[in-house]
Amino acid sequence: MTQTLSQLENRDAFIERHIGPDAQQQQEMLKTVGADSLNALIGQIVPQDIQLATPPQVGDATTEFAALAELKAIAGRNKRFKSYIGMGYTAVQLPPVIQRNMLENPGWYTAYTPYQPEVSQGRLESLLNFQQVTLDLTGLDIASASLLDEATAAAEAMAMAKRVSKLKSANRFFVAADVHPQTLDVVRTRAETFGFDVIVDDADKVLDHQDVFGVLLQQVGTTGEIHDYSKLIAELKARKVIVSVAADFMALVLLTAPGKQGADIVFGSAQRFGVPMGYGGPHAAFFAAKDEFKRSMPGRIIGVSKDAAGNTALRMAMQTREQHIRREKANSNICTSQVLLANIASLYAVFHGPAGLKRIAGRIHRLTDILADGLQKKGLKLRHAHYFDTLCVEVSDKAAVLARAEALQINLRSDIHGAVGITLDEATTREDVLNLFRAVVGDDHGLDIDTLDKDVALDSRSIPAAMLRDDAILTHPVFNRYHSETKMMRYMHALERKDLALNQAMIPLGSCTMKLNAAAEMIPITWPEFAELHPFCPVEQAEGYQQMIAQLSDWLVKLTGYDAVCMQPNSGAQGEYAGLLAIRHYHESRNEGHRDICLIPSSAHGTNPASAQMAGMQVVVVACDKNGNIDLADLREKAEQAGANLSCIMVTYRRPTACMKKPSVKCAR
């Protein structure tokens, strides 16, 4: 045998299998294009002055099995505590039939984003179901097919409120003090670039503030209190103020729909409909509004239409609102927006149906009532009498409570002055509640679940009568047919067959949304060591995540040639936005905040100008030739015209063409 052990180990097998063409096929392709080798081909098409002199030092290739073993060891460094921190993130029970037949199925996760409805009818139907879930639970007229997360949905609600407001001179946005802190952070960041003033105060003081164009309320506050905002919303509507309400999908199963109370916009996270926490994401958000505001909504909307033969068909509707058409005039830079996660939430609702969801929400609330009753019987005080799944418990010795909780491998919310927060979820059991009694009260609590359950059944007033939902939800047949595993499996398979994915054919289309994830790369996403971590758990419980993030950051720094990398953005468009904010703040740090012109080639992705507009910049379009190459003369002219107001140039690093040659960047400088 002439091969060496190193050759027989075949550490490059993953690359060869993942990309596809073997050595013979590569040679045939090289011959067709007139190149002797891959290196020669790269030398011909990539300009010499941007080729790397030496390969990036990111380690040697390895096999799938070795990589999975290494990742398993990294995952093992994460500590699987029971997290009752809440704040918009809870443990879930992803139905195995959805995990196996959808999340782990390449027929779903390799399909192209549905800009081509002819080959996307299955996912479009699932997204239409997601919209229907949103409409039923929020009580509003029109819903989008998901956004990126709850916090950015709040920022989108603020921007939309300004667009539709009739109070044109008003420039202040009011945020209730008990929204989730991460929501407030994102709203403040977005408001800064738009030049809005953000007011944070108790909701009952909103009428004391003048020049307010929009208000953000949260139906169930971050510390658990249920709010009946119907009267306040009526007063705000009388003043022509646009009202947005953050809500919780699971809570809405039992609570009055905010749309029925007059809210203009309702949004929130769909995470607890079957999507694991995953240390913070990714999770889809839901977003709904009144019909009169539909042209100002962010994100994609799926509509029912007709095909060429007159048959009912689905397509993305009102696309003239979106970045790929309106560019810098778009409502948002939102593009693909967590479709896979939205489909999990959609199918979760289909599988459980209205009765199943009510049973899950009812069990969560009953366990919360039992926990509340037991704690009060032990002399502890709750800050809020009205709650769904979250208690704010006043404690005299918080350190002792947190120490007992840690010993029991329990995470409680600890950032509330003089109290701890406890949020229950669909994974909470009787034994979990007993452990919570041990953590908060002590081992000798002497409480019994069944006894407490009888007491709660006799007198439960934790949800005000006026806030109990009295209308039917999810009445469409799709939510009432597929409740056995076999029926659900067949329904998902029927949807899958309507789509074109890589398990059926090649998709000859390049796109930033076209990512081929290998099976080995999909396996770890449902490992409980990764899936079950709460984003606000103590950092020492997430050492595996920290190692993985640090290692990936190091590799990306070496691959890109930069000094640091931000891992926060959860989409390419959000990465653009983050980068533009960094540029904006850089200029401000040099007392050059007046620099606000962003040069963008006409061939750029639509998200580019949309992101620049969101970052508070003026977009100036640079001409390109028919191949998308930057017109250097026009670039030079536009840069000179901008003069001292030039902030940046934004180019898409995707084509081995003249637009990537150094002279274009030098010209901008």
| Phi-psi sector, 208: left (phi>0), alpha (psi -120 to 50), beta | alpha
SS3 string of 67-108? HHHHHHHHHCCECCCEEECECCECCCCCCHHHHHHHHCCHHH
Q: Within 10 A of 38 (CB to CB), how many other CB atoms are there?
A: 12
Q: What fold, for 363-467?
A: Aspartate Aminotransferase, domain 1 (3.90.1150)
**Residue 565 confidence class, pLDDT cut points 50, 70, 90:** very high
Q: Which of 498, 496, 476 is CA-nearest to residue 350?
A: 476
pLDDT at 493 over 70: yes
Sequence ranges of the domains in the chain? 5-50, 65-87+506-559, 103-350, 363-467, 571-668
pLDDT of the residue at 119: 86
Token look-up 């998308």 returns 628
Q: Is the pLDDT of residue 668 over 80?
A: no
Q: What percent of the chain has pLDDT over 70?
A: 95
Q: Which of 289, 271, 317, 323 is nearest to 574 (CA)?
A: 323
CA 294 to chain centre: 21
Which of 135, 154, 477, 516 is closest to 302 using CA atoms? Answer: 135
304 vs 317, higher pLDDT: 304
Q: Which two tokens stand for residue 472?
A: 């039917």
What is the C-alpha separation between 234 and 240, in angstroms, rounded?
A: 10
- pLDDT computed for residue 660 by the predictor: 47
Region 522-540: mean pLDDT is 97
Predicted confidence (pLDDT) per residue in 30-47, tens digit: 999 999 999 899 888 888
* 571-668 matches 103-350 in CATH topology: yes
pLDDT tens, position by position, 197-206: 999 999 999 9
C-alpha distances in angstroms, 540 versus 80, 86, 217, 509? 11, 19, 33, 43
At residue 512, the pLDDT reads 60
Check residue 656 and give its pLDDT: 37
pLDDT of 104 above 70: yes
- What contacts 131, CB < 8 A, 6 or more positions away? 143, 144, 145, 301, 302
- The average pLDDT across 483-502 equals 96
By DSSP bridging, strand 172-176 and strand 242-246 are unpaired
> If we measure between CA atoms, which residue out of 104, 228, 5 comes closest to residue 517?
104
pLDDT for 659 beyond 50 = no
Section 244-268 average pLDDT: 98
CA-CA distance, 145 to 544, in Å (whole number)?
33
User: Of 10-24, 111-125, 355-369, 638-652, which has the strongest mean pLDDT?
Assistant: 355-369
Whether the pLDDT of residue 274 is over 80: the answer is: yes
Which tokens is 20 given?
């596809």
| Nearest alpha-carbon partner for 146 in 316, 280, 307 | 316
Overall residue count recorded for the chain in this entry? 669
Dig out the tokens for 448 from the structure: 């019994």
Residue 59: pLDDT band with limits 50, 70, 90:
confident
What average pLDDT does this structure show over 269-291? 97
Q: Quick one: which of 101, 150, 90 has its CA closest to 351?
A: 101
Per DSSP, helices labelled H in 268-415 are 323-326, 339-377, 398-407
Q: Which CATH number fits domain 571-668: 3.40.640.10, 3.40.50.970, 3.40.50.720, 3.40.50.300?
A: 3.40.640.10
Q: Are strands 285-289 and 142-143 parallel, antiparallel or unpaired?
A: antiparallel
| pLDDT of res. 658 | 43
Average pLDDT of the chain, as a whole number: 91
Tokens of 509: 């289309």
Burial of residue 366 (CB within 10 Å: 0-12, 13-18, 19+) is middle
DSSP letter string, 499-558 = B--TTTS------TT-----HHHHGGGG-HHHHT--TTS-GGGBHHHHHHHHHHHHHHHH
pLDDT the model gives residue 383: 98
Distance CA 418, CA 438 (A): 19
Residue keyed to tokens 């040069």: 599
Residue 606 has pLDDT above 90, yes or no: no
- Of residues 567 and 352, the one with the higher pLDDT is 352
> Domain 103-350 is in which class?
alpha beta
Query: Please, what sign has the CA dihedral across residues 612, 613, 618, 619?
Result: positive
| pLDDT surpasses 70 at 238 | yes
pLDDT of residue 319 exceeding 80, the answer is no
Mean pLDDT for the stretch of residues 650-667? 55
My answer on whether omega of the bond before 114 falls inside 30° of 0, hence cis, is no
